[in-house]
């Protein structure tokens, strides 16, 4: 069974309740593996960003990805 982005975010939050820059890079690679940011991925990422679940570097990395994905729509 394929894991969803929401599952991955939940998993990386289990240790310290924050997503680090390294974890954000893994999440970014997972999202970009198919070259498309799906609506499900946008929703999961937006929700995590709004809940302040990222350290500053991770936030910058993934908010930029989300911004670029939304600009393509």
Question: Tens of pLDDT along 48-62?
Answer: 999 999 999 999 999
Q: Rg (Cα) of the chain, in Å, rounded?
A: 11
pLDDT, tens digit, for every residue of 10-66?
999 999 999 999 999 999 999 999 888 999 999 999 999 999 999 999 999 999 999
The model carries a pTM of: 0.85
């Amino acid at each position: 069974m394929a894991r969803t982005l929401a599952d991955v975010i939940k998993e990386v939050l289990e240790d310290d309740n924050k997503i680090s820059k390294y974890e954000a890079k893994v999440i970014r690679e997972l999202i970009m593996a198919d070259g498309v940011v799906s609506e499900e991925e946008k929703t999961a990422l937006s929700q995590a960003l709004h809940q302040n679940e990222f350290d500053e570097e991770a936030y910058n990395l993934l908010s930029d990805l989300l911004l670029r994905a939304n600009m393509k729509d």
